[in-house]
Structures are given as C-alpha cells and as structure tokens.
Structure 1
Amino acid sequence: MAAAGGNADTAPAPGRVPAAAAPVPVWWIAAVLASGSVLTGLDTSLVNVGIETIGRDLGASLTEAQWISSGYLLALAATLPVCGWLSRRIGPGRLWLWSLAGFTLTSAACAFARSADMLIVTRVLQGLTGGLLIPAGMAILGQVAGRERMGRVVAVASVPSILAPAFGPIIGALLVDHLSWHWMFLVNVPIGIVGLLLALRLVPRGEAGRAGRLDLPALLLVALGLPLLTYAVAGAMDHGGLLAPPVLVPLVAALVALALFVHRSLRADEPLMDLRLARDPVYAAAAGTIAFSGAALFGGLIVMPLYFQLGMGRSIVDTGLLLMAFSIGAAATFPLAGRLADEHGGGVVALVGLAVVVVGTVPMALLPADPDPVLVEALQVVRGVGLALAGSPAVSTALARVRPDQMSDASSQVNILSRVGGALGSALCAVVLSGALADADSAAEVAAAFRVTFWWLTGMALVALVLAARLTRAQRRVRVR
C-alpha cells in the first residue's frame, strides 16, 4: 500500500525497535526550536491574567481589552494555512528564524504600546508571526529526526510547550503585581534573542524555492474560514450557544469558506496545502485522533479552572497551582510516550493513552459536591498522563507517513486539526456547562452541572479512542502488507 506520498515502504512498522538513539545535534536543534513553542504557549495564557489591568491602564473597556487576547488567537489561526507554502518557498529553517525575529520585535512593540488600539494591532502582528513558529519548527524536527526517531524527538520537544501554559498564569500574575503589565511582553525579548543566536548556529535552513505559485483564492478562503471558526466557537459561551445569531452567522460563513477551500485544494495542481495526504489511511486516522484528542484536552482546560473556583470554592492563585498537576503529569510522560511510539507504533500507544483519559475522566463525572482535593488532583495527573500518551504518538505517526518534501504541509495540517479540535471542544464544554449552571442555586446543583460536562468530556475521549483503534488497525495492515 502506498503511503501519503508513497512512503509505506520506508515508514517504520509498528513493533519495530529503532536501531539507534537520536544524535546529540538533533537534541540541540530540538531544544532551540522549543523556545518558539515556549514563547507562543506562554503568551497565550500569560497575558490573559493581565487583561483587566491593561484595559484599566489604557482606558479601555473590558470588551475592547478582550480583543488583546482574541486578536492574538485569531491571528495565530490565520497564518497556519500559509506555513507550508512559505516553508517550501524559503525553507523551514529560514521561516522559523524570520518568525522568531518577528515575534520578538512585536513583543517589544506590545510592551511600548500607548493605547488599546495600538496594543491590539501589535498583538495581531505578534500572532501572525507566532502562528508560524510551531508548524515550521515541527517541519524542521521531522526532517532532522528521521522516521525511526520521530516519536521520541517530537515528544521531548513538546514538553516545554505543555509546561508553558501551566506556568503562564502564575508568571503573569507575579509580573503584574510586582512590576507592570508591560513585562508580560518584555519577558519574551531575551528568550527570543537567545533563541535567535543559537538558531543561527544550529538550525538547518532547509531547501528553498520548491513552491509553486501562491493560490491566493485558496489562501483567502482558509484565512477567512479559520479565524471565523475560532471567533464563533470562542463566543459561544458569551452568547448562549452555537445557534445564537452572533455565533451562527460567522460559524456558517466559516464552514462555507472552509468547504470551498477543501474543494479547491483537492482539484488544484499546486494546492496551498496538500489535502491529498489524507488519502493514506494511517495519516487520516492519526489526523482524526489528533483532532478529538485536542477537543478532550482543551475542553478539560476550560472546565477545570471553573471547577476549582465554582465547584470547590478555590481562589485564582490556588486554582493556578492546582492546575499544574495536569501539566506535570503530561510533561513527565511525554518522553516515555515518544519512545513507546517509536518501538510499538503510535496507534497502540494513543489507544492506551485515551483509555487512561477515560479512566481519569469518568470518576470526575461521579464526584460529590464536596470532593476530596487529593483525589481530584490524582485524577488530573491521570488525565495528563493519558493525553500525553495519546497526543504526541498520534502527531509523530502522522508526520512519519509523509515524504520530507511534504513535511511542511503535514505539520501545518496537524496544528490546524489540533487547534480546531481544541476550539470546538472548548466551545462545546463551555456551552454545556453554562447552560447547566444557569439554573444552579445550590452546591449540589453546581456539582450536577459539572458532572454533566465531565460526561461530555468523556464522550470526546471515547470518540478519539475509536479513531485511535482505527489508527492501530491501519498500522497493522501496513505492517502485514
């Protein structure tokens, strides 16, 4: 059977033990590329803590100040589709370097903004550059690691990006309390400069000039569709669900734009993104697993802070500390997940991981109104372990199914699927929880509202588990053939 791009004969078979560990230079490159993941991860969660302070200092309403965060997230989504084309055009290494330089400069510009409008503009520019860092870095890793070491290298390189959002709110609160909100952006500058200096010595530039003409109609369609989809699902909680007119209109427009993009891409000789990669059953099953694992992950990240505050009556600082259990469990498991994926195949590892997620989520749907905090923390560690076992192996499996020249497209698609799945999972959990809490007047009713939401989270994990089972079967068929 031919893989996506004809790689079935060279892709590692499940159960095959890699011959050698990754060379030391590969780990140095992975460490440098992780700086980009840390910056974008930190900025997503760190700045949210200071939105109210920033708005007050710049004389902006809370609604206007919220666009400091929303504009950044929309810009992150808008740049993902063009990352593959740019990587082919100038080389993934050059793209990563230019993106990191742009992110560092725009971070400094954000710190020196003197009005809310100026800060929103600079945050959008920051998002446009930051959106390219993770997929470009992933494409570089995929090329330097080799298929037989893909799981371990991708998994270990993902650890900083998992820990950064966990520590972001705490770091942000400390910076705002002891310095000023400007330092939430200035903190990126030294990290970016050090990353650039190291990258200039270590990161390979990659082959440039392999891209055809830029498909502008396709770019416009997907650059419109993804931000609109992000905007719609992010606003679902504020407007009472996905069917509310302020949400439904951009949601329908997003789906139409994305459908037209898919139709055009499948027919184009030189598509903006090569969606034909999904013709390979292993790649397609891995992509589906990534999307629904993202839904289970980000849905939980929306629900758990509210659970600690509303369900358990904890303060914001306590909530930040309690949330770290999940990230620590995930970060500790990532290296093991990568090694297991290389040795046994990503499908079976993801399948086990999602079973662990279900085991860690079902008890949350059964907890009483006054749960044992130790039990809750233990379940968060279990969920972190399970999602680490599920996420990284599915990503490395998808990337291992493509040729080196297709790596940029594959990494862009993997990131898009993870973010879209995460956005939809977050929106669904937010809508379910807000609806259930609307009539909750007692602690028992609040607990019941969270139990319903945890059952929805369990359902997302079960769908991802079914897709991981398909991935496992697809990998076994490849091995037999």
Structure 2
Amino acid sequence: MTDQAVAPPTKLDGAVFKIAGVVVLGAIMSILDITVVSVALPTFQTEFDATYAQVAWTMTGYTLALATVIPLSGWAADRFGTKRLYMLALLLFTMGSALCATAGSIEQLVAFRVLQGLGGGMLMPIGMTIMTRAAGPQRIGRLMAVLGVPMLLGPIAGPILGGWLIEAASWQWVFLINVPIGAIGLVYAQFALPKDEPHPAESFDFVGMLMLSPGLALFLFGVSSLPETGTITAAKVWIPMLAGSALVIGFVLYSFRRTHPLLDLRLFRNRNLSVASISLFVFIIAFMGAGLLFPSYFLQVRGESTLHAGLLMAPQGLGAMLTMPIAGTLADRVPVGRTVPFAMSLIALGFFTFTQVGTDTSYVLLCGSLFVMGLGMGGTMMPIMTSALRTLAGHEVARGSTLVNILQQIGGSIGSAIMSVILTSRLNGSAPIPGLNNPRTGEPITEAGAAIASQHGQQLPVEPSVIQRGLEFVADSFASTFWVGFILVLATFIPIAFLPRKREPAPHATGSGGDRTEATVLVH
C-alpha cells in the first residue's frame, strides 16, 4: 500500500500536541525574554551605573547572536538531528539565563546575553521544523496557530511579567525564571520529541557562513545603532550597514553557484514562499515598530507604571487569542489570500485610532482599538507563515523555516529602529527651557523632557503650564510616529494581494532528484 492510499489526518492528535508542548515552551522562553528584558533596562542603568546606550547592548547583543546562529539552523538540523539540536539550544539558553543572573557588571551581562541568544536563535526555526514534520502539510495551519500563541502574546505578557518580577523581587528574577522552565523543557523534550536520524550528506558551507552570519550581524548592528545616533549618516550606522550589506549580497551571488549553500535561496522559486515571505517581512516591520510605541505612549504620555502599561496592552492579546485558533483552522481549508486581507483591515482600523492620540485620549477607546488590532493579528501572522511553509516538502522545511526566521529578525530590527529614530527626532524638536540643564550632561532640558520626567515622579522647577505644553508636544510626537506605522500597515496590503486565493496541492513525489518529494511524517 502506498502512502497516498492512506487519507492524511486533518485534526491535531495527542501525539502532535505532545510535541507542540515542548516547542511552545521553548518559544515562550525565547520570545518572553526579549520583551521582559526591555522593561528592565532602566533598572540595569541604576544597578550597574551605566548609560542607556550601554544597557541597550543587552538587547542588541542578544539580537546579533540570533542573527549569527539562525542561518546555521537548517544545516545543523540535517547534520545532528532536530531533537539533539533543539535540546542543545534549550540547554544553552537556560545556562545563559542562569549566568545572566550572576552578572556583576554590564559587560558580563552583555556577554551572557550573547550566550542566551546563541541558544534562543535556534529554538524557533528548529521548533518550527519539528512541528511541521510532525503534523504534515494538511494540518500546518492548525499547527501554526498553536505556535503563534507565544509569538503574538510574548510582546504583551513580557512587560507585565517583567514589571511584576522587578517590583516584587529583583532584576535577577527576570533571568532566573527561565532556569526551572528550561529544566522542565529539557526533561519533557527527552521523552516527547521523536528521535530523528541525522543526514550528514551535505558538507558544511564555511565560505557561506563567513559571509552571511557576519553580514547579518554587521547590518543589524548598524540598524540597532540608529536610535542611539539619531542619523543614518553616523559612521557607527552606515559603515556596519554597508559592510554587512556587501557581505550579504556577496553571499546571495555565491549561494546560487553552490550545490548545498548555507541558506537555500533557491526556495524562493516557490511562488508561495516568496509572496508569503515578503508579506511577513513588511508586516513584521509594522508590527514590531508598533509594539515598541504602544507601551511607550502609556509610560511617557500617560505616566503609567511598567506593570500598568503592560496590563493596558492585554486587550491586544485577548483579541489574538480569540481569532488565532479560528484562523489556524481556516488556513487548512480556505486559501490565505481570502482571509488575511480581512484580518489586515482590522489591524488598520484599530491602528488608525493611535494616529489621533492626545494627552487624555479615552482608555476605553484605546483598549478597544488594541482589541480590534489583536483580532486582526491573530488572523494574519500565522496564516502567512502557513502559506510560506505549506508547499515545501519534508527536506525543505528546515531551510524554509530558517529563511522565514531570518526575515522576521531583520524586519523586527528595522521596524524598531525606524520607529525609535522617528520618535526621538520628533521629541528632540521640543523647545528648551531657559536656565534649566541636565546635571549629568550639561545639555538644556526641553519641555518634552521635563514633561516625561514629571510623569515619572521627578520634580523640576518649572511652571505647570510648561509641563502641560511639553505633554501635548510628546503626545503629538507619538501621533506623528503612529502615522508612519499606519502607512507601513497599509503597505502590507500590497504583497498580501498576491497571496494564493486557490487551494494549493501538498508536496508530491515527482521522481526527480531536485524536485519535491512526499514529506514523510514519523511520530514516535
């Protein structure tokens, strides 16, 4: 009896959910850690007597480590097997978390964060490979909905958890909380993940690694330096970006001449993967940029605590939780080109409210808008990823998921940098207060700076009218920046218009060595 004679299952069974539990646990650790640490940056400044630029390296170092290791994931999954590699990544991440809690200086903390990133960078692409192999192409939409929970809820739950841990315990617990979760994950993975045999047939592409990994790291370093310098003309920005771009372009040209390149760009010949990847890239730029702005508005304009700002973001997560399971089921039955535009319309509708924000905009209106955005987000990201991976055969999944994760990482860094630079440049346009200077830098304090300081309990010798004028300027700056985010959201409609509107056949056997073959799913 052939494989095709057996009707493939359409519902997720217990064996698949058991595997999904391991992968979701790792994804939650990796994604939550990014947003939890962002809340702790002011605490790091105080604890280590460091500048904001120095503590920001705890985020940048982690991001650069991700960019360095993600391209290796596809080759390493074939060479060592997905189960071994996933457990190694989980171990590295857990060890890095424990070491971060012991850091006695900002330099040590950054170094340990890099170790964390080396593990965290492999968790998502290898986890996606394990899950798609376990479910098969017929159930990938439902599976992506499961994996999408930590991806969409992480940026929302992170500030809440981080704020609570810092207030209730200490900054060390931002990292220590990962240790017991990682230990449980390792034991769980040992028993739950299916054993797969390595396929070390392909030689490692050292030349490709020497071009792509440093190229991505240099490019993202330049992008990440934009908020600090405020201009793309700064040497710290354009030199790494130019050098990184040259290395990446060199890798692209080189990879098409090699039989087994580090990153298989030939997969982009698959129209579904290409269109979905472009759609996801543009969406991530808008989504990550907006994710940075929303809590900042509540903190800087409305004077909320970190914990309250995180709680105000909760409606977005609730909306995503409602639509994500529905979107996952629909993605297996209805072409994503018919559902994603509707979901993106909800995001655009909710986002527009924030282009009108002021100093006293109704929380009911803002939370309602976040809820509507959440409804749209739950029906956008995972269906797009489903479209990207559905038509890939079993041996292509690891490479395809690596491509998708790299695009997400680059898009997220670009989105965050764009929004930070625009908001910072707007705030720097505020009028200085005569005779009032920063005691550390000697630079004049602006009306916007005084307003933000007053929202966080700092008393400055200025008139209430100056504070109010500064608050209005800060709110206008956020509104202007939200307009940029809104335009990026609208731009996403261009690539998603080309998403498939007809059912695509699953990968099938062709008999050709270079073409797709049936994805054999083995669940032990």
TM-score (norm 1): 0.90
1:241 maps onto 2:231 in alignment: yes
1:455 maps onto 2:483 in alignment: yes
Relative distance call for 1:435 and 1:114 in structure 2 (3 A) is: closer
1:100 maps onto 2:90 in alignment: yes
1:344 maps onto 2:334 in alignment: yes
Structure 2 equivalent of residue 314 of structure 1: 304
Structure 2 equivalent of residue 135 of structure 1: 125
Structure 2 equivalent of residue 207 of structure 1: 197
For the residues of structure 2 that align with 1:364 and 1:178, how far apart are their CA atoms? Answer: 32
CA contact (8 A) 2:278 2:495 kept: yes
Q: Decide which of 394, 400, 421 is 1:431's aligned counterpart.
A: 421
Structure 2 equivalent of residue 7 of structure 1: none
CA contact (8 A) 2:39 2:306 kept: no
For the residues of structure 2 that align with 1:471 and 1:387, how far apart are their CA atoms? Answer: 17
Structure 2 equivalent of residue 74 of structure 1: 64
For the residues of structure 2 that align with 1:426 and 1:64, how far apart are their CA atoms? Answer: 18
Structure 1 equivalent of residue 210 of structure 2: 220
For the residues of structure 2 that align with 1:59 and 1:315, how far apart are their CA atoms? Answer: 22
Q: Which moved more, 1:33-42 or 1:178-187?
A: 178-187
CA contact (8 A) 2:335 2:503 kept: no
Output aligned runs, 1:358-397, within 5 Å: 358-397=348-387
Could you tell me how far 1:187 is from its partner in structure 2? 1.0
Could you tell me how far 1:58 is from its partner in structure 2? 4.5
Could you tell me how far 1:183 is from its partner in structure 2? 2.0
Cα deviation 1:5-47 (Å, max 9, x = unaligned): xxxxx9xxxxxxx963111110111011111101111211222
Structure 2 equivalent of residue 38 of structure 1: 28
Unpaired segments ≥5 residues, structure 1: 1-9, 11-17
Percent identity of paired positions between Structure 1 and Structure 2: 34
Q: Which moved more, 1:164-173 or 1:184-193?
A: 164-173
Structure 1 equivalent of residue 109 of structure 2: 119
CA contact (8 A) 1:85 1:211 kept: no
1:466 maps onto 2:494 in alignment: yes
Relative distance call for 1:477 and 1:185 in structure 2 (3 A) is: closer
Structure 2 equivalent of residue 262 of structure 1: 252
Cα deviation 1:216-271 (Å, max 9, x = unaligned): 12112111122222222222122113333321111111211111111111221111
Q: Decide which of 167, 189, 194 is 2:157's aligned counterpart.
A: 167
Relative distance call for 1:299 and 1:345 in structure 2 (3 A) is: same
Aligned residues: 463
Aligned-partner SS, 2:203? coil
Could you tell me how far 1:60 is from its partner in structure 2? 4.7
For the residues of structure 1 that align with 2:359 and 2:496, how far apart are their CA atoms? Answer: 34
Amino acid aligned to 2:133: Q
1:47 maps onto 2:37 in alignment: yes
Could you tell me how far 1:197 is from its partner in structure 2? 1.0
For the residues of structure 2 that align with 1:65 and 1:111, how far apart are their CA atoms? Answer: 15
Structure 2 equivalent of residue 179 of structure 1: 169
For the residues of structure 1 that align with 2:75 and 2:284, how far apart are their CA atoms? Answer: 25
Cα deviation 1:84-108 (Å, max 9, x = unaligned): 0101111122211111122112222
Q: Which moved more, 1:133-142 or 1:183-192?
A: 183-192
CA contact (8 A) 2:351 2:373 kept: yes
Relative distance call for 1:233 and 1:201 in structure 2 (3 A) is: same
Relative distance call for 1:393 and 1:181 in structure 2 (3 A) is: same
Aligned-partner SS, 1:455? helix
For the residues of structure 1 that align with 2:492 and 2:337, how far apart are their CA atoms? Answer: 11
Relative distance call for 1:19 and 1:216 in structure 2 (3 A) is: closer
Relative distance call for 1:204 and 1:218 in structure 2 (3 A) is: same
Q: Which moved more, 1:461-470 or 1:166-175?
A: 166-175
CA contact (8 A) 1:55 1:61 kept: yes
Could you tell me how far 1:81 is from its partner in structure 2? 0.6
Could you tell me how far 1:457 is from its partner in structure 2? 1.3
CA contact (8 A) 2:357 2:478 kept: no
Output aligned runs, 1:277-316, within 5 Å: 277-316=267-306
Cα deviation 1:139-160 (Å, max 9, x = unaligned): 0011011111101111112213
Q: Which moved more, 1:138-147 or 1:319-328?
A: 319-328
Could you tell me how far 1:303 is from its partner in structure 2? 1.3
Q: Which moved more, 1:54-63 or 1:295-304?
A: 54-63
Q: Which moved more, 1:347-356 or 1:434-443?
A: 434-443
Could you tell me how far 1:171 is from its partner in structure 2? 2.3
For the residues of structure 2 that align with 1:420 and 1:65, how far apart are their CA atoms? Answer: 21
For the residues of structure 2 that align with 1:172 and 1:87, how far apart are their CA atoms? Answer: 33
Amino acid aligned to 2:36: L
For the residues of structure 2 that align with 1:306 and 1:58, how far apart are their CA atoms? Answer: 23
Could you tell me how far 1:285 is from its partner in structure 2? 0.4
CA contact (8 A) 1:92 1:408 kept: no
Relative distance call for 1:246 and 1:358 in structure 2 (3 A) is: same
Amino acid aligned to 1:396: T
For the residues of structure 2 that align with 1:181 and 1:444, how far apart are their CA atoms? Answer: 33
Aligned-partner SS, 1:314? coil
For the residues of structure 1 that align with 2:379 and 2:349, how far apart are their CA atoms? Answer: 14
Aligned-partner SS, 1:238? helix
Q: Which moved more, 1:337-346 or 1:135-144?
A: 337-346
Which structure is richer in relative contact order (CA contacts within 8 A, separation 6 or more)? 1
Q: Which moved more, 1:439-448 or 1:115-124?
A: 439-448
Aligned-partner SS, 2:11? coil
Could you tell me how far 1:202 is from its partner in structure 2? 1.1
Could you tell me how far 1:69 is from its partner in structure 2? 2.6
For the residues of structure 2 that align with 1:56 and 1:360, how far apart are their CA atoms? Answer: 36
Cα deviation 1:427-453 (Å, max 9, x = unaligned): 222222222232245344433322322
CA contact (8 A) 1:334 1:388 kept: yes
For the residues of structure 2 that align with 1:229 and 1:326, how far apart are their CA atoms? Answer: 31
Could you tell me how far 1:112 is from its partner in structure 2? 2.5
For the residues of structure 2 that align with 1:346 and 1:65, how far apart are their CA atoms? Answer: 41
For the residues of structure 1 that align with 2:198 and 2:139, how far apart are their CA atoms? Answer: 25
Structure 1 equivalent of residue 187 of structure 2: 197
Structure 2 equivalent of residue 272 of structure 1: 262
Aligned-partner SS, 1:87? helix
Q: Which moved more, 1:135-144 or 1:87-96?
A: 87-96
1:406 maps onto 2:434 in alignment: no
